[in-house]
Amino acid sequence: DVKVTQSSRYLVKRTGEKVFLECVQDMDHENMFWYRQDPGLGLRLIYFSYDVKMKEKGDIPEGYSVSREKKERFSLILESASTNQTSMYLCASSAAGTDYEQYFGPGTRLTVT
């Protein structure tokens, strides 16, 4: 079974802190994605990566950056966390090619106080 794991299920950080959210997949997938999910807004794509060291902005990249140094790991970075970044963050991966589905991790609920 494909497994996508995220470093924490719940995280509480203070405003201004630098926050790292880690995602690891074990299926040698080329593509990895970061979404955030907020009530009434559905899932929104923040960034995605189609190869090591490659990244593309999604629909809401402001306030975030990403890092992909190894194929299996994709990190989301909040350089200076703000309260409006309180959200559920979901990581996903997929094989290259659009006929492949995305596999999601369980999510990290981040609260910024």
Residues 57-96 binding other proteins (CB under 8 A) are: 58-59, 90, 92, 94, 96
Residues 31-60 binding other proteins (CB under 8 A) are: 31, 33, 35, 40-45, 48, 50, 58-59
Residue 84: burial class (beta carbons within 10 Å; 0-12, 13-18, 19+):
exposed
Check residue 25 for interaction with other proteins (CB under 8 A).
Answer: no
DSSP state of 9: S
User: Measured from the CB of residue 98, what is the shortest distance to other proteins in angstroms?
Assistant: 6
Residue 76: burial class (beta carbons within 10 Å; 0-12, 13-18, 19+):
buried
The nearer residue to other proteins, 77 or 95, going by C-beta atoms, is 95
User: Measured from the CB of residue 4, what is the shortest distance to other proteins in angstroms?
Assistant: 7
φ/ψ (deg, to 5) at 84: -75, 0
Question: Is 94 in contact with 4 (CB distance < 8 Å)?
Answer: no
Q: Which residues in this chain contact other proteins in the complex, by CB under 8 A?
A: 4, 31, 33, 35, 40-45, 48, 50, 58-59, 90, 92, 94, 96, 98, 101-107
